[in-house]
């Protein structure tokens, strides 16, 4: 059997958002039982009510509700929708699907959630014209802070704050209906950036400025390696073992070192990853790791500078620093080829998630910082 990892977690990830567990399955069940009991007490055993579930969201609630209802009942469904994504569009569509004879019946609408009340008022308008004996409304979840209508809601299961929820039939852009518990949106307050750039692009300079401005923890893989080796940590010794043999340090070791670095900063406002991830495997591991912490990479920002300019800059630097690898134009060009070859897969990886931002790295240092900030300020 396939195991849905979202089913059990404290935090689930749907599309681009994180949600954290908010209301347990058993608490929901108690609220459903309570609603069924109260409604039955009001209607009595002599009457067979017609429950009308509002699709799609109420399908799970309605299924549990009719089974919790102590008396006989009928159930039907109608469809209405007002939500695309997470914003109420304020427009509700036509009501579809009611085929039962409702003349002189007691009709009880079953809503999964009432937010602004737009949907509800549309339902009222429609039913008011119909010859029902009585119309009542029951909702499992209710957001009192945003409800704007003067309409009366007869039965309310659980009142919740004005925060988007998913699970138990409720969705975020189609996903999350299958979750047994209710999850509440978790606003991502961390800013996690991967910064990229070929040698000479000015990455170090810009990273220092961003770190300062956003109070981010700057994690440079090179520094992390050197520090671990110097401090003789277990991971450092492991990495050294590979390096001494002339082998590449395996992804697992690099990933564990980076994770340890993140864990050292539990209060961080975000991280600026520099020189990591380098492979798709590392990028996947980083995503999974951050996701489990309820956060994610917001952007991969690459400083783009034409190759000729980079060669010029590095040759200039070579004259001053005496670094031999910065003194030979053909060696420099080879390093760019390597850079492009190795980073193309990552550019692809983040581009597919809409997280790749190329920044013009030519020009005044402060102007470039400004461009970087414009990207980061979106999050």
Check binding of 113 to ligand IMP (CB under 6 A). Answer: yes
Segment interacting with ligand IMP, rule: CB under 6 A, options 18-26, 62-70, 112-120, 241-249:
112-120
Residues that bind Mg ion in the complex, under the rule CB under 5 A: 54, 57
Out of 60, 109, 114, 300, the only residue in the binding site for ligand IMP (CB under 6 A) is 114
Judge contact between 141 and 102, C-beta under 8 A.
no
Instruction: For CA atoms 151, 157, 158, 164, give the dihedral sign.
Output: negative
Does 116 contact ligand IMP by CB under 6 A? Answer: yes
Cα 297 from Cα 191, distance rounded (Å):
7
Between 118 and 369, CB nearer to Mg ion? 118
Smallest gap, in angstroms, from Cβ of residue 185 to ligand IMP?
Answer: 8
Structure tokens at 174: 């189609």
CB of 81 to Mg ion, least distance (A): 7
How far apart are the C-alpha atoms of 247 and 286, rounded to whole Å?
23
Binders of ligand IMP among 312-351, rule CB under 6 A? none
Q: With H, G, I as helix, E, B as strand and everything else as coil, classify residue 377.
A: coil
How far apart CA 29 and CA 179 sit, in angstroms, is 14
Tell me which residue of 19, 18, 52 sits closest to 137, measured CA to CA.
52
CB of 368 to ligand IMP, least distance (A): 40
**Which tokens is 175 given?**
């996903």
Residue 127 or 349 with smaller CB distance to ligand IMP = 127
Closer by beta carbon to Mg ion, 78 or else 102:
78
SS3 144: coil
**Which segment (28-36, 62-70, 160-168, 207-215) binds ligand IMP by CB under 6 A?**
160-168
Does residue 117 belong to the site contacting ligand IMP (CB under 6 A)?
yes
The dihedral over CA atoms of 136, 149, 145, 30, expressed in degrees to the nearest 10, equals 10
140 by DSSP, 3-state: which?
strand
Structure tokens at 305: 């500078």
CB 93 within 8 A of CB 81: yes
Catalytic residues: 203, 278, 317, 323, 335
Task: Decide: is 115 part of the binding site for ligand IMP (CB under 6 A).
Answer: yes
Is the CB of 49 or the CB of 169 nearer to ligand IMP?
169
Eight-class DSSP state of 83: E
Q: How far is the CB of 163 from ligand IMP (least distance, A)?
A: 7
> What does 82 interact with, of Mg ion, ligand IMP, none (CB < 5 to 8 A by kind)?
ligand IMP
> Is 182 near ligand IMP (CB under 6 A)?
no
Query: Residue 194: helix, strand or coil by DSSP?
Result: strand
Establish if 118 lies at the interface with ligand IMP (CB under 6 A): yes
Q: Are 22 and 181 in contact (CB under 8 A)?
A: yes
Which one, 54 or 166, has the nearer CB to Mg ion?
54
For the bound state, the minimum distance from the C-beta of residue 171 to Mg ion, rounded and expressed in Å, comes to 9
Applying CB under 6 A, the residues found at the interface with ligand IMP are 57, 82-83, 88, 112-120, 164-166, 170
């Amino acid at each position: 059997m396939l195991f849905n990892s979202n089913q059990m977690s404290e935090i689930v990830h749907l599309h681009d958002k994180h949600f954290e567990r908010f209301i347990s399955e058993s608490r929901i069940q108690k609220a459903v039982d309570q609603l069924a009991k109260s409604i039955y007490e009001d209607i009595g055993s002599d009457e067979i009510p017609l429950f009308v579930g509002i699709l799609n969201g109420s399908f799970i609630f309605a299924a549990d509700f009719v089974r919790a209802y102590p008396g006989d009942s009928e159930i039907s469904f109608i469809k209405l929708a007002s939500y695309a994504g997470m914003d109420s569009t304020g427009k509700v569509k036509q009501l579809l699907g009611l085929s039962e004879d409702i003349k002189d019946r007691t009709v009880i609408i079953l809503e999964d959630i009432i937010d602004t009340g737009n949907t509800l008022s549309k339902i009222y308008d429609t039913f008011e014209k119909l010859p029902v004996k009585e119309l009542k409304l029951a909702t499992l979840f209710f957001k009192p802070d945003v409800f704007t209508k003067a309409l009366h809601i007869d039965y309310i299961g659980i009142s919740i704050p004005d925060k988007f929820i998913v699970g138990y039939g409720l969705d975020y852009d189609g996903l999350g209906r299958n979750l047994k518990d209710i999850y509440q949106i978790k606003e991502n307050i961390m800013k996690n950036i991967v910064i990229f750039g070929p040698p000479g692009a000015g990455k170090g300079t810009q990273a220092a400025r961003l770190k300062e401005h956003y109070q981010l923890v700057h994690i440079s893989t090179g520094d992390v390696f050197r520090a671990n080796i110097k401090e003789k940590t277990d991971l450092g010794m492991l990495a050294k073992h590979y390096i001494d043999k002339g082998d590449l340090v395996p992804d697992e070791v690099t990933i564990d070192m980076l994770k340890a670095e993140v864990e050292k900063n539990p209060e961080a406002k975000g991280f600026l990853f520099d020189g990591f991830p380098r492979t798709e495997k590392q990028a996947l591991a980083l995503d999974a790791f951050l996701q489990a912490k309820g956060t994610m990479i917001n952007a991969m920002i690459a400083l783009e500078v034409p190759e000729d300019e980079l060669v010029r800059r590095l040759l200039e630097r070579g004259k001053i620093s005496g670094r031999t690898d910065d003194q030979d134009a053909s060696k420099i060009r080879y390093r760019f080829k390597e850079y492009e070859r190795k980073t193309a897969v990552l550019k692809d990886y983040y581009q597919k998630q809409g997280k790749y931002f190329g920044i013009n790295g030519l020009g005044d240092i402060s102007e470039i910082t400004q461009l970087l900030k414009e990207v980061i300020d979106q999050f």
